[in-house]
Structure 1
């Protein structure tokens, strides 16, 4: 048996949830622990809650962190657009209401300035890739209107990431599964991928990241419905499968040699450089809650996920995880 698969069959190795019995609700004030080994965390109570008991609004997006300021950016499907938090969970501001519906985001520094890239799936101006400054000012748009038609059409835009040279990649994970490469100015360069389960194919290319752990940068793709992570080079050439037996991976975040995966079926998994699992975080024992959108917040338990969709490491290894949820939820996992 493949040793990676064996690890997935040994949940007692990695599931450490001594507080599964904790009841949800506003009375929770103590952190809940999750994880194992070098990857133990505490879920911080009430992190990211809005003033006056307001909901975040539907969360079907991503989380990124500005390395320069430590601020956390959370995209939503609500009219306020992107919520910006301090590390302690206090809301700093909201930006870019016209970018409501960013399904995924990426962040990088360009010329000493932090910039945000978003894949806009819903909202007032859907199906475009946007480049913003940290105040929400639009710096670049890539869409059918600006770049022309692409193979498979502008349908189901789910992911965006940016290579070290500024090349921009986006994926139509809810559409024809093609991945498109643009130059830094938004000119279309090439298209690759396509729907399937074989080499060079994906079935819901849901999230992407640039992976620099193997020398030459690679494109790491969440192949959600094939339940795997796959690698392409930056010219679109297939490299291979990186990890399998995942619970519908949505997004990845890389820190050092580790990779955290937001799995829609109610878990976050940390993988090592070889793609083998080393920790499971927030695993939900109630399968009725897996990958469910309308679960009321009062039925969700601290430190237990229902539908992880977006996530990001910060520089200290803390994780910020966004559940796909009608009312909106973001959890801070503080690394121990």
Structure 2
């Protein structure tokens, strides 16, 4: 791990110098963000985009793909990228970069924040290396999960390319092998293997095609469940915490990324979309989708308005070409959104200001 503490020290020193010079406070406050005129979204979930939110120097803190982002208890936005120079960039909501570090992961993909006894930890997956690690917020690795072939969960021919993790209420770790053999692997908090479920199938409802993301859904009081995004099936699949298939929620046209729960709502980046008459996965057709507590789509920032006919959701498409491939969505305390993009020429996250 390489940390850039010097960057923070220089930033703090610069602010101190300005205050010592007697300049009024407004001279060091950031300027008003430049928002796009176009409003995205529908109903009560409408936004204006700030494309240049990140104040990071791209020559010093480059990104390739901005894969995922979480908000910690200190109100800092933690971004995961697959650039080995800086896997982690840490921001204030204003867009000011306050820290960075790396695990030298060339395929960093999944980022999960877990609160464990008042201390927060990050769980990071690397799809290329086949690694899942738990680390502190400053990048110290405290646990690495075993490869499933080492513990008899996979045979040697089965691919393992983990994309995401979720942490259960008892500390169990759920790993989505979304680019590999399509299983969800369950470990206890210490990394001991418990079980696997799922697998690869287009037709069987309890199996996946690209089990890309996984999250614990606490919206039903006293009955937490596991949500898994089966991206190629355009579907969120729900399981019990012991791996029993329960139900699914179909979003026609939306090749969804991981489920992100906030209050009563479910958010997801749509990484790929469709076009009318061509129902295959299409590049550069991303948008964001938002579902309510009944798992009905209520807004699609960047996409078409959700329409239900006879209780069935109609085809969702990109309408405004603001995004290319929305890989993740993060919310701040004011319910603004931060959208991470894959394969988008190295852009930093866009901030969507709620209106």
Structure 1 length-normalised TM: 0.80
Match for residue 316 of structure 1? 334
Match for residue 348 of structure 2? 329
Question: Which stretch shifts more, 44-53 or 214-223?
Answer: 44-53
Match for residue 50 of structure 1? 56
Report 1 or 2 for greater relative contact order, CA contacts < 8 Å, sequence distance ≥ 6. Answer: 1
d(CA) in 1 for partners of 2:150 and 2:36? 48
| 1:61-107 residue CA offsets vs partner (Å, 9 max, x unmatched) | 211110x1111111111121111111111111112333453211111
Alpha-carbon distance, 1:54 to partner: 5.9
1:219 to 2:226 alignment: yes
CA contact (8 A) 1:34 1:281 kept: yes
Match for residue 306 of structure 1? 324
| 1:221-280 residue CA offsets vs partner (Å, 9 max, x unmatched) | 110000111101100000111233141111221111111111112110101122211001
Match for residue 235 of structure 1? 242
**Which of 200, 204, 207 is the aligned partner of 2:206?**
200
Question: Which stretch shifts more, 223-232 or 315-324?
Answer: 315-324
CA contact (8 A) 2:216 2:225 kept: yes
| 1:299-329 residue CA offsets vs partner (Å, 9 max, x unmatched) | xx9x811100122222332211101024233
| 1:112-147 residue CA offsets vs partner (Å, 9 max, x unmatched) | 11111111213xxx2111111111111111132996
- What is the total number of aligned residue pairs between the two structures? 290
d(CA) in 2 for partners of 1:186 and 1:240? 28
CA 1:69–1:234: 2 relative to 1, 3 Å: same
| 1:5-33 residue CA offsets vs partner (Å, 9 max, x unmatched) | xxxxxxxxxxxxxxxxxxxxxxx933342
Unaligned runs of at least 5 residues, structure 2: 1-32, 273-285, 305-316
d(CA) in 1 for partners of 2:185 and 2:264? 27
d(CA) in 2 for partners of 1:145 and 1:195? 16
CA contact (8 A) 1:82 1:99 kept: no
Q: For residues 145-164 of structure 1, what are the structure 2 equivalents within 5 Å? A: 148-151=151-154, 153=158, 155-164=160-169
Larger Rg: 2
CA contact (8 A) 1:207 1:250 kept: yes
1:87 to 2:107 alignment: no
Match for residue 138 of structure 1? 141
Match for residue 270 of structure 1? 290
Match for residue 184 of structure 2? 179
CA 1:145–1:40: 2 relative to 1, 3 Å: closer
